[in-house]
Amino acid sequence: MSSDVTNTDVETLDTVNTGEPTFSEKFWKVFRGHPGALAGLIGITIFVLLAIFAPLIAPQDPYDQAQLDILDGLLPPGSTLWDGTPSLLGTDALGRDILSAVLYGLRISLFVALVAVIVGSAIGVFMGLLAAMKGGWVETAIMRAVDLKMSFPGILLALMVLAVFGSGIDKVIIALIIGAWASEARLVRAVALSELKKEYIDAARLAGLSDWRIMGRFLFPNSISPVLVVLPMSISGAIGAEATLSFLGVGVPITEPSLGLLIANGNDYILSGKWWISLFPGLVLVAMVLCINMVADRLRDHANPYLRGKD
C-alpha cells in the first residue's frame, strides 16, 4: 500500500464509491421488517455464547464423577443438591444437574454439527465446481456418486455408516459429512453450469486463463451464494440428525452426552412422570434449531427472486 500513497491518481483514493453495498446495508436489507428472523439471530448468538462458556456458567461439571452424588438422583426442578448447589432444572438418576448437562450437551451438539457441515459443504462445493468445470468422466463419476447418496434418506445412510463403523463423536461427524456433501455438490454444479454458459467465462477463456484460475476467481465466487443460503438449514439439519442418532443409541458415547443422548436417557423416566430429565434438553434443542431455521427461512426467501421486494 505504501507505494500508493505517492500516487496521485484519482483511482487510488479510497473515497471512491465502489458501488457495492456495505455489509450493514446488506444486513438490514435482509432482516428489516422481519422480527422473527432477527430474534432467531439473537437466539443463535446466545446459544453459541452459552456453548463456548459452558464450563464457566455451569454450576457443576457433569462429567466429573466426584461431583456427583447418587443421593441427589431424580430431584425435580428447583431443588437444592446435597452440597447446597441450587439445581434449577432438577437432576437425573445419577444425581447430575440437568442445567449443567444441557450446557455441556449444547457444546457437543453444536461442535459436531458445525464441523460436519463446514467440512461436508467444502467437499461438496469443490466436487460440484469440479464436475461442472471438467465435464466428461470426472463429472459422470462425481454425479453418479451424488445420485447414489441422494437415493437414500440421510438418516438411513447415517445409520448404515454407524452400523458399519460403530459409534463415537468422530464416527458421527463422518456419517454427517457423508450425508451433507452430495446435495451441496449437486446445487453448486447446477449453478456453476449456468454460470459457465455466461459470457464472462468465455472472456476468461479468451484471456488464456487456466481452468483452475477460472474455477477459483470466476466460477467459485459466482456459484457460492446458494450454498451460503442453505448453510444455516444444513446446520440445523445436522444438529437434528446428530440428536436423532444419539437418541437411537448409535451416536455419541455416554461419556460425552449431546442433547440427543440426554433426551434418550430421560426418555426411560417419562412414563414414571420424571418429565424434566427429557424435556429440558429437548426444549433447548428445539429452540436452537428453531432459531437457526428462522434465519434460514429469511435468507432463502430473500434469495428467491420471485419474492424479492414483494414482502
Residue with Cβ nearer another protein (3 or 65):
3
Residues 26-45 contacting another protein, CB under 8 A: 29, 36
Per CB under 8 A, the segment of 5-13, 44-52, 97-105, 132-140 that binds another protein is 5-13
Contact yes or no for 124/183 (Cβ under 8 A): yes
Of 46, 135, 141, 213, which lies in the binding site for another protein, with binding defined by CB under 8 A? 213
Per CB under 8 A, the segment of 112-120, 123-131, 135-143, 211-219 that binds another protein is 211-219
Contact yes or no for 124/182 (Cβ under 8 A): yes
Strands (E) across the chain are located at 79-80, 86-87
Three-state DSSP state, 93 = coil
Residue with Cβ nearer another protein (137 or 306):
306
* Residue 267 within binding range of another protein, rule CB under 8 A: yes
Query: Can you tell me which residue has the cell 466428461?
Result: 136
* Residue 218 within binding range of another protein, rule CB under 8 A: yes
Of 141, 156, 228, 254, which lies in the binding site for another protein, with binding defined by CB under 8 A? 156
190: its cell numbers: 447446477
Per CB under 8 A, the segment of 42-50, 64-72, 84-92, 148-156 that binds another protein is 148-156
- Taking CB under 8 A as the rule, which mask of x and - marks residues 98-137 in contact with another protein? ----------------------------------------
Residue with Cβ nearer another protein (128 or 282):
282
Contact yes or no for 80/86 (Cβ under 8 A): yes
Residue with Cβ nearer another protein (42 or 163):
163
* Residue 2 within binding range of another protein, rule CB under 8 A: no
Residues 245-264 contacting another protein, CB under 8 A: 247-250, 260, 263
* Residue 86 within binding range of another protein, rule CB under 8 A: no
Residues 224-243 contacting another protein, CB under 8 A: 236, 240, 243
The least distance separating another protein from the CB of residue 80, rounded to whole angstroms, comes to 26
Q: Name the residue type at position 115.
A: V
Residue with Cβ nearer another protein (123 or 204):
204
β-bridge mates for residue 86, sequence order = 80
* Residue 163 within binding range of another protein, rule CB under 8 A: yes
Provide the 8-state DSSP code for 106.
H
Residue with Cβ nearer another protein (63 or 220):
220
Contact yes or no for 101/162 (Cβ under 8 A): no
Q: How far apart are alpha carbons 206 and 191 in whole angstroms?
A: 22
Contact yes or no for 146/186 (Cβ under 8 A): yes
Of 19, 24, 84, 137, which lies in the binding site for another protein, with binding defined by CB under 8 A? 19
- Taking CB under 8 A as the rule, which mask of x and - marks residues 166-195 in contact with another protein? x-----------------------------
Sign of CA dihedral 208, 212, 213, 217: positive
